[in-house]
A = this chain, B = another copy of it.
Amino acid sequence: MTSDRLAPRAWRAYFEGSRLLENELERRLKATSGMDLGDFNVLLVLSEAEGGRMRMGDLARALAFAPGRLTYRIGALEREELVLRRPSPDDRRGTDAVLTDAGRRRLRKARPQHARHVDELFLGSLDDDALEVLDRVFGPLRARMLGRADSSD
Q: Which residues of A contact B (CB under 8 A)?
A: 6-7, 9-11, 13-14, 16-21, 23-24, 64, 118, 121-123, 125-126, 128-142, 144-146, 148
Contact = CB atoms under 8 A, between A and B. Distances in A.
Contacts of A139: 9, 13, 17
B130 A133 contact: yes
A142 B6 contact: no
A122 B144 CA distance: 10
A129 B137 CA distance: 11
Copies assembled: 2
A52 B123 CA distance: 36
10 smallest beta-carbon distances between A and B, as pairs: A20-B145, A17-B138, A17-B142, A10-B135, A13-B138, A133-B133, A17-B141, A10-B134, A13-B139, A14-B138
A18 to B, nearest CB: 6
A6 B131 contact: yes
Contacts of A148: 24
Nearest to A20: B145
B122 A141 contact: yes
B141 A21 contact: yes
A145 B122 CA distance: 10
